[in-house]
Amino acid sequence: MTQTGSKVPQTRTETQPQAGAGQVRPWRPFESLRQEIDKIFEDFGRDWRAPFGGLPRESLFSGALGALANPAVDIVEKDDCFEISAELPGMDDKNVELKIANGRLIIKGEKKEEREEKTKESYLSERRFGAFERNFALPEDVDAQKIEATFANGVLKVKLPKRPEAQKPEQKIAIKTS
């Protein structure tokens, strides 16, 4: 006995749900992909045994000065030292604090601005405040007693010299012929 079947025509209609009260948000593949990638890098940074602890994202921000939320920092390793450069536009050395605590280098900054204008017809008063804190695990081969810092034109430069035994001297190796 053979079975015969009939095909039922199917139609498909697509509707886009609108995000409203009690409705499901539309699927956003790139948003979820970005969240997953961020999570991977956060986990990677925590376990990575690199100098400065894989550059953790430990910043504190309060106020309206968005540029201070997470100042740009460059870290360069040289033969004899590490150099950290932090861009702190509009700040001066009185507003920046640099210290070492519990094997970490801590850079803190705070900026306050107040402006007041009075005329016969109006009065204007503005206040802005911003603060940040970045901290980095110090590599074991840094000589903490010889750290130097300079501040010029809104850029903080910190030089972290390596201990003499951590510096890798160059050695030439003789090539023998056979």
Question: Domains in the chain, please, with CATH?
Answer: 55-166 (2.60.40.790)
Alpha-carbon Rg for the chain, nearest whole angstrom, is 28
Q: Alpha-carbon distance 19 to 7, whole Å?
A: 37
Q: What is the DSSP letter of 120?
A: S
Max CA separation in the chain (angstroms) = 103
Inter-residue contact 149 to 98 (CB < 8 Å): yes
Query: What is the distance of C-alpha 92 from the center of its chain?
Result: 21
pLDDT digits (tens, 9 = 90+) for 88-133: 888 888 989 999 998 899 999 988 888 898 988 888 888 888 888 8
Are the C-beta atoms of 130 and 63 separated by less than 8 Å? yes
pLDDT in tens, 23-53: 666 777 778 788 788 777 665 554 444 555 5
Mean pLDDT, rounded, for 135-140:
88
pLDDT exceeds 80 at position 70: no
Check: CB of residue 54 under 8 Å from CB of residue 40.
no
Residue 118 CB contacts under 8 Å (≥ 6 apart), including other chains: 124
pLDDT band at 146 (very low <50, low <70, confident <90, very high): very high
Query: d(Cα 160, Cα 50) in Å, to the nearest integer?
Result: 15
Q: Which residue has the tokens 């405040």?
A: 129
